[in-house]
Amino acid sequence: MKKNYIRTLFVFLLVSALLLLSACSASSDGYYENEPENGYTDTNGDKTEVGTTEGVTEVNPNGKIIRNVVLRGETKDFDTALETLKNKISENGGYVEKSSVTGGESLGSNRKSSRNAVYTIRIPAEKLDNFLEKTEDMLNIISSSETTTDVTLEYYDIQSRMNTLEAKRAALEKMLEQATSLNDIRTLQDDLYEVIGEIEAYRSKLNVFDSKVSYSTVDLTITEVIEYTEIKEEEPTFWERISTTFLKTWTGFWEFCQDLAVFLVGAMPVFCVFGVIGLIVLLIIVLVKKRNRKRLQRWKEQNKQ
């Protein structure tokens, strides 16, 4: 018992001496001495100011940024614009996730309603700016917005959890190989299946993040117009608003009158048929009423006699 106590005391004194020597060595090297007031001195003797960003990389190369862009544009040549858009998408390595084209119905008098195309486009993140620049040159952009979502922390947190679950999975598989009891085997299998399910769920979420980070999303609406919309930086005056509203109302009323006239002319044969049918029905009603009147008059005369 006494020998163990002496041995423990000796080890304690030896460790304390080593720690004391390392502290003295650090102090003698000047690591804490002669410290600059507003910075530190590196191995080359150069002073770097505290709080400066010079020489610091601001963009994290491993960052996970999701970019979504919404654009609304106009074109006078609808078919050419769509064809050019498809070529630009292909040139930038993107693809169309979904699209739809509406409008173009005939309104008569060689007039058609304006067409609208709605696209959801996926473009490689590194080529997004180039694609947007080409699109702005191709269309008259009347509105645009962009949102960015930083999922870096969530992404690597999920990866860390997956690594932990993978280690747990390996341990469960090893325990399952060594298990002999049927009850233990069932319990380990249930735990293993639960861990595998969590891993797959996390992997699916990472795949979604990878897809959205690698390929940015562009929601693009293209409208066919006769004249481009003038985008004014300043708010319109009161009289400008009145004149614009009056012109729009008058234009809408005139177009309504034209459409109504076209409808009435086109429906003239139908009106003629219904008119003839109406006249026949009216004639039958008049004849029936006249006949009933005569019968009533005869009935009254017979009753008087």
Amino acid 116: pLDDT? 93
C-alpha to C-alpha distance for 131 and 220, rounded to whole angstroms: 12
- Note whether 264 and 175 are within 8 A (CB): no
Amino acid 15: pLDDT? 46
C-alpha to C-alpha distance for 121 and 92, rounded to whole angstroms: 11
pTM of full prediction above 0.85: no
Amino acid 160: pLDDT? 95
DSSP per position, 216-262: EEEEEEEEE-SSPPP--SSPPPHHHHHHHHHHHHHHHHHHHHHHHHH
C-alpha to C-alpha distance for 125 and 148, rounded to whole angstroms: 12
C-alpha to C-alpha distance for 278 and 204, rounded to whole angstroms: 70
DSSP per position, 28-76: HTTSSSS--SSEEE-TTS-EEETT--TT---S-TT--EEEEEEEEEEES
Q: Return the amino acid letter for 263.
A: F
- Note whether 132 and 69 are within 8 A (CB): yes
Amino acid 234: pLDDT? 65
What distances in angstroms separate CA 253 from CA 18, 110, 258, 259, one per listed residue?
A: 97, 19, 9, 10
Q: What is the mean pLDDT, run by run of 10 residues, along the chain of 305 residues?
A: 48 49 44 40 39 41 89 94 94 95 71 86 95 93 94 95 95 92 92 95 95 95 90 71 84 83 82 85 86 80 71
- What is the domain class of 65-150+216-224 according to CATH? alpha beta
Amino acid 80: pLDDT? 94
State the Cα angle at 171 between 169 and 174, rounded to 5°.
110
C-alpha to C-alpha distance for 69 and 88, rounded to whole angstroms: 16
Q: Where are the domains positioned within the chain?
A: 65-150+216-224, 152-212
- Note whether 185 and 176 are within 8 A (CB): yes
Q: At 248, list the tokens.
A: 């729009």
C-alpha to C-alpha distance for 232 and 101, rounded to whole angstroms: 28
